[in-house]
C-alpha cells in the first residue's frame, strides 16, 4: 500500500503572528516556520503503517518555493521514503490548483491512501482532504482520531456533530487526521543529517494542474479587536446581575 501525505509549511505554533501594515496578509519576515502540526501527525501515522508492514511506501508532497524543502526534509527524517516539491512558479499556491495537482499525482504514483492533516494552523480551512476526495471520487473521513486496517479496508473513529462516530471505509480513501491520532516521534540527529542529503523530486504545479490564474485572492487581513477585560464578581448574586445585563439575555427577557 502506497501512502501519500500532503504537508504544508506554516508559521510555528509557538510564534505570535502580526499583520502587514498594508493589510495584505501576515508578515512572516524573520519568523520561525515549521511543519504544520496536523500534517506532522499524518506523517507519523503513515510511517507507523509502513513499519507495521501495512504500507510499502510513504511519500510526502509539499507546494511552494524552494524554502518548502525544509518541512519535506523534516518528514523524511521522520521516516518518509520520498518527497516531492510542487513549484507554483510565480506567486503562492492556489488551493484548487494544488488539489487538482494532487489528484493527478495520486493517480500517477499509484497511491492507495492519502493522509491529510485535518487543517492547517494558518488558515484553518480544512478543505484539502474533502476537495481531493471529491476529485478522486474516493471515500473520505475527517477528524480521524483512531485508525486501523481491517479486512482490506479501514476502520476509523471520527469526531461527529453528536459525538464519536465509527466508520468502515474501503480502500483507496482520503483521511483528514486529528492531533489525537498519534504523537509524532522525536527526530534523531543522524536521521536529520541523512534527510538533508536526500533527493527531493521537483515538479511544476502547472505540469500537473495546468497553467491558470488563481481563482481566489486575499482582499484584506486585519488583527482581531482586543478582548475586553474580565470582571471579578463577589458572589452568585452579582454574577446573575452581570448575566442579566448581557444583550443576548436582555433581548429574550
Distances (CA, A) of 36 to 19, 54, 124, 153, 247: 20, 25, 11, 27, 39
CATH number, domain with residue 196: 3.40.50.620
Which residues constitute the domain of residue 209? 2-252
pLDDT-derived band at 234 (thresholds 50, 70, 90) equals confident
In contact, 86 and 61? CB cutoff 8 Å: yes
Number of structural domains the chain divides into: 1
246 Cβ contact partners less than 8 Å away, ≥ 6 residues apart: none
Q: What is the pLDDT of residues 180-225, one digit of tens each?
A: 999 999 999 999 999 999 999 999 888 887 666 566 777 788 888 8
Strands 113-117 and 9-11, bridge-based pairing: unpaired
Closest CA to 34 of 61, 83, 85, 70: 70
In contact, 11 and 67? CB cutoff 8 Å: no
DSSP 242: H
Average pLDDT, the chain: 88
Per-residue pLDDT at 251 exceeds 80: no
Q: What is the pLDDT of residues 100-142, one digit of tens each?
A: 889 999 999 999 999 999 999 888 888 899 999 999 999 999 9
The pTM of the full predicted model, rounded to 2 decimals, is 0.83
Amino acid at each position: 500500500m502506497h501512502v501519500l501525505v500532503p504537508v504544508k509549511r506554516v508559521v510555528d505554533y509557538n510564534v505570535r503572528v502580526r499583520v502587514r501594515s498594508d493589510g495584505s496578509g501576515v508578515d512572516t519576515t524573520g519568523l520561525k516556520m515549521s511543519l504544520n502540526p496536523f500534517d506532522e501527525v499524518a506523517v507519523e501515522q503513515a510511517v507507523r503503517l509502513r513499519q507495521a508492514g501495512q504500507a510499502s511506501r510513504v511519500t510526502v508532497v509539499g507546494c511552494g518555493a524552494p524554502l518548502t524543502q525544509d518541512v519535506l526534509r523534516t518528514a523524511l527524517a521522520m521516516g518518509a521514503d520520498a518527497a516531492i516539491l510542487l513549484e507554483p512558479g510565480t506567486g503562492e499556491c492556489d488551493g484548487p490548483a494544488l488539489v487538482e495537482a494532487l489528484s493527478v499525482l495520486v493517480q500517477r504514483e499509484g497511491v492507495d491512501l492519502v493522509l491529510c492533516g485535518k487543517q492547517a494552523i494558518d488558515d484553518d480551512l480544512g478543505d484539502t482532504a474533502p476537495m481531493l476526495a471529491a476529485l478522486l471520487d474516493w471515500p473520505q473521513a475527517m477528524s480521524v482520531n483512531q485508525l486501523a486496517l481491517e479486512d482490506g479496508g479501514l476502520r476509523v473513529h471520527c469526531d461527529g456533530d453528536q459525538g464519536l462516530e465509527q466508520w468502515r471505509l474501503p480502500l483507496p480513501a482520503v483521511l483528514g487526521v486529528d492531533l489525537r491520532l498519534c504523537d509524532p516521534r522525536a527526530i534523531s540527529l543522524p536521521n536529520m543529517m541523512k534527510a538533508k542529503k536526500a533527493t527531493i523530486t521537483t515538479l511544476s504545479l502547472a505540469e500537473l494542474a495546468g497553467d491558470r490564474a488563481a481563482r481566489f485572492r486575499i482582499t484584506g487581513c486585519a488583527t482581531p479587536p482586543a478582548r475586553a477585560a474580565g470582571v471579578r464578581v463577589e458572589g452568585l448574586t452579582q454574577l446573575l446581575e452581570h448575566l442579566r445585563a448581557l444583550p443576548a439575555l436582555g433581548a429574550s427577557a
